[in-house]
Amino acid sequence: MMHEPRKHPRMSAAELDHIVAGGAMIDIDSKHELQARPAVSGDVVRTLLGNRMLWCAYIGQYCTIALSYFFITWFPIYLVQARGMNVMQAGFATMIPAIAGFLGGIAGGVISDWLIRRGWSVSWARKTPYIVGMAVGCCIVLSAFTESNLLIVMLMTVAFFGKGAAAGAGTWAIVRDTAPREAVGLAGAVFNCVGNIGGIVTPIVFGYIVQATGGYNVGLYFVAAHCLVAAVIYLLFMGKIERVKVS
């Protein structure tokens, strides 16, 4: 069902050259490439841990995962304990933002690729859906100012759609566009590791906030702050998205 680029029956030489010019490593699994590839060195590790653009991507993934894990862990509990829903109602209410996040992920990737086809730079085609999506995710904080369960579910749905759009355009796509050729897998591992720390920290911190304050509003501010931080980092600090070269 799947063909490598060089072996695809409908691959023309011109298209293959275009793919290579765009940065794709089409021979990454070949015996010659594997033998020629240098071992991971201290320079590679220092590059992955010392590059500002990559750290912006890592922090962006941390914030994205933090929002995801709020929905996975505390959102259903919030609906039951703070909003008085029964378990069945909370289950359906939780499903709606999850579907929106799924659709947002597809939309973010489609929009990002469409912007590139329209002539946008890779940097802004990747960053714009991410920045807008995470900015939209900030609307989760408005849940602290309404008593309407319907409005809360709508706000959470919009926030999770924004998070999905951000993830679809500005997380793993950026790793693909920026990872050093010598360490594609290691770059993805560091990115994923830092991101998933958000999945560890967020549920614990949120729980302590609920325990300390006796309510959920401050916890909602905490989660929304991740969206704001991520959008600002991508907008002001990331800079140009480009392939990192090991120094």
- 25-57 residue pLDDT tens: 777 666 555 555 556 678 888 888 888 999 999
Per the model's pLDDT, the better-predicted residue between 193 and 26 turns out to be 193
105 occurs within a structural domain: yes
pTM, to two decimals: 0.85
132 occurs within a structural domain: yes
CATH code (residue 139): 1.20.1250.20
How far is the CA of 23 from the CAs of 176, 177, 181, in angstroms?
A: 9, 8, 9
How far is the CA of 180 from the CAs of 88, 90, 174, 177, 189, in angstroms?
A: 48, 44, 12, 9, 13
**Tokens linked to 208:** 């302590």
243 occurs within a structural domain: no
Distance CA 53, CA 39 (A): 23
Q: Which of 53, 62, 57, 110 is nearest to 227 (CA)?
A: 62
27 occurs within a structural domain: no
185 occurs within a structural domain: yes
- pLDDT number for residue 39: 65
194 Cβ contact list (under 8 Å, min separation 6): 58, 59, 61, 62
Model confidence at 174, in pLDDT bands (50, 70, 90)? confident
Q: Do residues 126 and 177 lie in contact, with contact meaning Cβ atoms separated by under 8 Å?
A: yes
44 occurs within a structural domain: no
Distance CA 23, CA 53 (A): 18
pLDDT at 154 over 60: yes
CA angle 191, 28, 56 (to 5 degrees): 20
Write the burial class of residue 195 (CB in 10 Å: 0-12 exposed, 13-18 middle, 19+ buried).
buried
Distance CA 165, CA 3 (A): 29
Number of domains in the chain: 1
195 occurs within a structural domain: yes
Four-residue CA torsion sign, 76, 145, 139, 233:
negative
pLDDT digits (tens, 9 = 90+) for 65-78: 999 999 999 999 99
227: containing domain: 57-237
